A = this chain, B = another copy of it.
């Protein structure tokens, strides 16, 4: 059987499973998620044994220590997957909600009812735990999922999926609900992305290269998440102690993630006070500062920023800093260099807060809070399948609801059109 035929069979199984999944009760889905969590914990030894094969092959192939780290199914990672599944089970089921209903002049009652999307393909890189996290979220929202993980994690992903399948089947989940592409052949991704009759949505998770490739190749809609060049603007009226805490949290707490702070904008009126103060704190935390000329005069040890710095997603302890003349200057800078991801203002001025919220185009705009809050868990979505920085379907962190759509339902009493 060719790879293409194999994938088409998976697609057909997924489509069939999705019809049954759409009708499952919340109780059945939640019991299955709990059974899957228990199954993962009960299979810990077996999973770690299989994981060792991926790790050995990875070491031989010269993977970096960081890659090996992400690949490893420690006790903590396995417990984390189980815990994640239990948390998803505890979330409300989005399927079946009638989000609105209204009455037409002719008496028709028209409503919008939440239904699953259908079949979702997840394409991700090395972390095998995405298999359980994504599988659980897709299941809860009533979707079938086809998972294609990094080839270096293949044995681990297949083993995790087969534990989920087994536990799910016993709990009443249809066959084909969670499937892993079991080949390392790179052509498989290309084939998968052509299957627009079998797959409704593709969610890639990984670096910008992966996302560009999937976007350019796919005939199926793709949730896109490019880079996060996140700004904090410290306004003239900002509480400077609060501003410092927000800047430090954005840059230092976890610099390697997409919602970390990359560029600080400071209103000229507070530059003399704020920049030396925040400069000391940042430098003390090991942050390299790349500044505009106005910044260099106020922060010891800062180096001159180049044009590229204003567009850089460092994902490291580096911060670009620029002094602006006004709120408008900050808005212009963000419009020119932002990545539609996360933008925050620190201010005590009502009008500035409202203008910033209104005028900044980003998936999440904050007032007096750290950029690090742009995350599905932190915003209260319960769990996150990804973040979209494009605007179709979803913009920003995506939770269970973003894995659904709505259909129109109409209750009539014999109405016909005149």
A residues apposed to B, CB below 8 Å: 19, 22-23, 96, 102, 104, 108, 110, 113, 115, 117-118, 196, 200-201, 215-216, 219, 221, 239, 242, 245-246, 248-249, 253, 335, 353, 357-359, 361-370, 372-374, 378-380, 390-397, 405-417
Contact = CB atoms under 8 A, between A and B. Distances in A.
Looking at chain A's contact residues, is the secondary structure mostly helix, strand, loop, or mixed?
A: mixed
A391 B408 CA distance: 12
A216 B219 contact: yes
Contact of A407 (B221, B362, B412): B362
A417 B367 contact: no
A253 B118 CA distance: 34
A24 to B, nearest CB: 12
Contacts of A239: 414
29 contacts: A19-B335, A23-B358, A104-B380, A108-B369, A117-B391, A117-B392, A118-B391, A200-B392, A215-B219, A221-B390, A245-B416, A246-B414, A246-B416, A249-B416, A253-B417, A364-B408, A365-B407, A365-B408, A367-B410, A369-B411, A369-B412, A369-B413, A369-B416, A370-B417, A373-B410, A373-B415, A378-B417, A392-B393, A395-B407
Most chain B CB within 10 A, of A113, A245, A253, A395, is at: A395
B200 A390 contact: yes
B416 A370 contact: yes
Contacts of A415: 368-370, 373
A407 B414 contact: no
- Copies of this protein chain in the complex: 2
A115 B361 contact: yes
A331 to B, nearest CB: 10
Contacts of A417: 249, 253, 370, 372-373, 378
Contacts of A409: 357, 364-366
A326 to B, nearest CB: 17
Nearest to A110: B379
Nearest to A415: B369
Contacts of A102: 380
Contacts of A23: 358-359
Nearest to A414: B242
A287 to B, nearest CB: 16
A110 B409 CA distance: 30
Contacts of A246: 414, 416
Contacts of A369: 108, 410-416
A406 B245 CA distance: 28
A380 B110 contact: yes
A407 to B, nearest CB: 6
B216 A413 contact: no
A239 to B, nearest CB: 7
In the complex, which of the residues A245, A366, A408 has the most CB atoms of chain B within 10 Å of its own CB atom? A408
B405 A395 contact: yes
B412 A366 contact: yes
A364 B412 contact: no
Nearest to A108: B369
Given A110-B380, A417-B253, A367 B411 contact: yes
A353 B22 CA distance: 17
A394 B115 CA distance: 12
B253 A372 contact: no
Contact of A414 (B216, B245, B396): B245
